[in-house]
A and B are shown apart, each in its own frame.
Chain A
Amino acid sequence: MSEADEVARVAAGLPPYAVSLGIGVERIEAGAPLLTLDFAEKVHGRPGFLHGGAIGGLLEMAAIAALRMALAERGAVPRLKPVNMTVEFLRGGTDRRTYALGRVTRAGRRIANVSAEAWQDDPARPIATAWMNVLLSGA
């Protein structure tokens, strides 16, 4: 599958929440979809800054998208149930585009451990990181 096809496939699979929040798919990077979220009133938290909930939602979508892609490569399409998630907020997100990329630390038979990072100008200066455990069922 070409990268453009892969990007279109990931975008088509985003849930209603991701679409209404304004999450987009930029490209495939390091084997995972690079997601974007543009600054808008609907993601605004304290004055001038991104809301932590919007950052958390973006990180979760990036983690799940990375996991789906990794599982698809091994021919598995289980249902994914998030078990838990921790978000660490490192810097305030300001009024510009935010990027997020997930990384599968380990995908076992029943549980996957996935992390994600979000940044704005510089990937080396993340604004937030997250990890989550996801239950894989019906695989």
Chain B
Amino acid sequence: MNSFMPSTTFAVLLLPFIAALFAPALTQLLKHNAAWILALVPAAIFWHFSGFLPVISAGEVVTGGYQWVPALKVNFSWYIDGLSLTFALLITGIGTLIVLYSGGYLKGHAQLGRFFSFILMFMGSMLGLVMSDSFLMFFIFWELTSITSFLLIGFDNKREASRRAALQALVVTGGGGLFLLAGLLLIWNVTGYSEMSLLLRSGSLLADSPYYIAIFVLVLGGAFTKSAQFPMHFWLPNAMEAPTPVSAYLHSATMVKAGVYLLMRLNPVLGDTMAWHIVLPLFGGTTLIVGTLLAIRQTDLKLMLAYTTVSSLGLLVMLTGFGTEKAIEGAVLYLVAHCLFKGALFMVAGIIDHEAGTRDVTKLGGLMTAMPITFAAALASAISMAGLPPFFGFLAKEEIYAGLWQVSFWGGLLTIVAIVGNALMFVIGFVVALKPFLGRRKLKLGNVHEGPVLLWLGPVLLATASLLTAIFSPMTHRLITSPMASAVEGEPVSAYISLVPHIGMPLLLSLITVAIGVFAYINVARLRALMIYALYKIGWGPDKGFDQFIRGTVRLSFRVTNVIQPGRMEFYMKVIFILVAVSILLPMALFDEWPAMPQWPDTISRYEAVIMAIAAVGLFSVLYAKDRLTAIVSLGIQGFAVALLFMLFGAPDLSFTQFMVETLSVVILALAMTRLRLTPTDHRALKEKIIDTIISLACATAFVLLLLKVTQLPFDTTLSDFFTRYSLSIAHGANIVNVILVDFRGTDTWGEIAVVMVAGLAILSLIRIRTRPANAIAANDPAEEDERL
């Protein structure tokens, strides 16, 4: 690591956050045209990272960074290889277009500046995630993407659906993040490496470790929640409550791929095991099929796209898990292709929504003449999504089939899953791209026209990219596919697939896919009705399950709180004193450590006897006091007597403090009593009184025994010797007690005075809330809440 050199990469990683800081002010100044300037930020980052392409495609890796917390061996370090570079280029490239698109889409929105700020913060987090070398940094950025996603989904915070979706996404992905944290810590513990670059060179260290399964499950917990794998997929369609630029950017092109990124990143060290080859394709394949079936059921353009995103993520996980060289290449190609076409299609859906006022595919039609540019971009993207030439999606699909097709049960099964999934995605792609534009214009739509350049620029450029990357496939492979696939595979890999059809199994499988797809497209309305019926019959889904889970948690915590916090002072006191007695007496009984019978002193001086008599008198008058004020004052008498004893036995500081504490507690208690009814009522029944007496006697006995025991043990003088010797020489103080308080154990005192202050604040607010209505505390009851709903 080339340390302490100022690095442009570091500056570039910070840049989005700095831009986020200034975005609101800039937007205030320039309104939606601020997009043109803000888009320069991701564009500049894109430019910076594309400078790495020659080095990375030559098979090298670039690392850099700084020490962060040297004591814990935590660095702020980045690692650039084919995988992270491709992601960085996608994040910043699509990010540039998204910033522009947002300017058009949210033109005139009062909170546009805040939106830009959130988007840029997300961009910085995502970029940091893929660049991170050290685990801690990776985890922090991982959670930051969850948090920024929460902010963006809930952007329209006045709508309850957005708030619910935002919270749901945060709970699911944030909860998964905790799994990931545990997984990363475990990896750190097992290998001793806290950086990706070192871990990737550790060979089969992890796969051979006895903790492999634990690590595997924890990492999957993080990856599957983030990448919306079944059955944790439900948050992603709900996240469509966010404005469309967010859906296009976070929930199709970038953030949801973070889980796939994690799996790909760890493939060289975690992959190639039985568990990996079975669990990943199983979940991925299920997600693929479930996602496409749920997509068919939808009529909202964005929801259809969202569910196909779920299935695409499933496909990527399935391929990563299958793990043959070709499958990895297929995954890499598909990942890039998906970013390009899905991002474009989402933006198209947004344009249609923006211009026509609806996203419902059954209410749309005949917009081709009104929106020719949008239509062209949509069509191109849909062709890529369907896996047809001459677009990049075609290369991806061919490579997927080449990777999956094996004459074995597992390979055959997954191939069938992929064919079904691809065919259904073919359908959705064309439903989104054709239905709104072809056919007769629906009357309700009114006068629809093409969106402004800020809106259509993004989809057009992405569609063009889909085309160019496919036409110039050798260059794409050299710069992007091969380096990325090599990084995922852990050894050099080269991709060769091009638009020229190769006669063989993949082409045949593609033809089958297209045939099924065309058939399904014609019958899409019937399929939709079938799916709606099937889902109605099932009646329950993970989305409902999530609500049940949350409600159950609230109920459980309410019940637990009701049991341990019933709000009755007597109960608290009883529990506390019983515990005190038990915790002192039980160890003594268990370890047979009773104190020896103390020796009664031969002579007691008269004043000692008098003081003890005063203390005893004080105690008895507490017990026999008729009203509380007398009891308080009597307690004070006993306290003063004890203070006198301290003084006699040579502890002036202690005695001094005891005097003050006793005085003040008598004063404060007396003051508190003036606010209560002073009538001497003891509502306790005889039985309760007896129980309370037993508890207090037990406590008293416990303390007496403990004190006796303590004084009977040999006295270890190490500490007192130390303090006596050094109090004056080191801490310049002759009063050892005070020197300990303010110097030797100063940090303790510091904590204590903080507690004193917080306690003061708490008491102050308790005194002040007396006027609140009596039923205010019960308002958290979930049962009541349900009744209100």
Pairing of A with B: no
User: Which residues of B are at the interface with A, using a C-beta cutoff of 8 A?
Assistant: none
* A residues in contact (CB < 8 Å) with B: none
